[in-house]
Amino acid sequence: MRVLVCGGAGYIGSNMTAVLVENGYETIVYDNLSKGHRKAVVDGAEFIHGDLADYDKLVETMTKYKIDAVMHFAALIEVGESMLDPLGFYYNNVSNTNNLLRAMEFCKVNRFVFSSSAAVYGMAQNKALQESSPKSPINSYGDSKLAVERMCHFQSQTGRLNYAAMRYFNACGAGNNCTLGEDHWPESHLIPLIIQAAMGKRDSIKIFGDDYPTPDGTCVRDYVHVEDLAQAHLLALEKLSSTTEQIYNLGNGKGYSVLEVIEAVKRVSGKDFKVVREKRRSGDPAFLTADSSKAQKELGWTPKVPDIDSIIESAWKWHNQNPDGYSD
């Protein structure tokens, strides 16, 4: 099978690409490198420097490589930024995905795996979310992901699209034997920021809000290893020829507060660093944890690295081996 990986030079997309190549798929990465890194694309995958806004290039690529399936990771992802630039988020995440789906329809490519998000749920109570839980995003990022899911749903009803929407919780860790890690610019994600504090690359880690209705007052998230996410996507891809619509939550089902993650990094690294309490960040729900039993049952997915210390160990290793990230 020939798979086009949009956003395959980014954090999750590059790990997906490595898993596809390892499993013998012909893999073509399509990325504009606005956020991704050319060095993160493993040998064995073809690389196309292209933008999702470029419909003609998408059609040309799908035709040239006789693409059978598309996996889509190319999106703006920062919740805080999405509250400052909603129009940019809808343009990048919704309009460009509409372009991609129209190019797929024109080229008669009908298998699509979409990187959705736990952010589609919005405010959640302190209990694991199921796929059927109410969806009411509280930031434009989550709303842009939900809009794409709805677009896929109605397109699938025409009979011209089989899709899987993978709603993942907080992707983290490093995959491909700790060679593919998290390198965003500017970095806004909790685990890389804490690791940078532990490495002495920043003076402190800031906690955004300690007055949430959670046990220790800081936000609770479900952290899931990036390679486990990639494995779930692969299982969904393999099932796509026989199913029209699949929606899965992907997480470990256990929530950790910001303070607990800070403690875990201190434990794994053996380093101490300054922790500063700040006011809340806009758009953050207090709790987000996943009930992934549907993915486990229907896809046979079992996370291989579910515990937080092992996840952080892999990230710690990558950051120490790549103190300046991919440096490109």
Catalytic residue numbers?
Answer: 141
Task: Estimate to the nearest angstrom the gap between the alpha carbon of 51 and the chain centroid.
Answer: 19
Sole binder of ligand UFG in the list 42, 180, 193, 237 (CB under 6 A): 193
Task: Report in angstroms how near the CB of residue 284 gets to ligand UFG at its nearest.
Answer: 5
Write the binding mask 246 to 265 for ligand UFG: x where contact by CB under 6 A, - elsewhere: ------------x-------
Distance, CA of 162 to CA of 245 (rounded, Å) = 6
* Total residue length of the chain: 328
Residues 137, 256, 315: CA angle, nearest 5 degrees? 100
What is the Cβ-side half-sphere exposure of residue 320, based on CA atoms within 13 angstroms?
A: 11
Task: Report in angstroms how near the CB of residue 209 gets to ligand UFG at its nearest.
Answer: 6
Check whether the bond before 213 is cis (ω within 30° of 0): no
Task: Report in angstroms how near the CB of residue 25 gets to ligand UFG at its nearest.
Answer: 25
Q: Is 224 in the site for ligand UFG (CB under 6 A)?
A: no
Single-letter amino acid code for the residue at 221: R
Q: Is 103 in the site for ligand UFG (CB under 6 A)?
A: no
Q: Is 190 in the site for ligand UFG (CB under 6 A)?
A: yes
Q: Is 169 in the site for ligand UFG (CB under 6 A)?
A: yes
Q: Which is closer to ligand UFG, CB of 50 or CB of 142?
A: 142
Task: Report in angstroms how near the CB of residue 226 gets to ligand UFG at its nearest.
Answer: 12
Instruction: Tell me the window of 15-23, 71-79, 102-110, 265-273 that interacts with ligand UFG (CB under 6 A).
Output: 71-79
Asked if 258 and 175 touch (Cβ cutoff 8 Å), the reply is no
Eight-state DSSP code of residue 174 = -
Sole binder of ligand UFG in the list 119, 146, 295, 311 (CB under 6 A): 119
- The structure tokens 């397109």 sit at 155
Single-letter amino acid code for the residue at 32: N
Sole binder of ligand UFG in the list 281, 306, 310, 322 (CB under 6 A): 281
Structure tokens at 234: 């692969």
User: In the bound complex, which residue of the shown chain has the CB atom lying closest to ligand UFG?
Assistant: 219
Backbone angles phi, psi at 128, to 5 degrees: -60, 135
Distance, CA of 182 to CA of 195 (rounded, Å) = 11
**What residue ranges bind ligand UFG (CB under 6 A)?**
77-79, 117-119, 169-170, 188-190, 193, 205-208, 219, 221, 258, 281, 284, 288
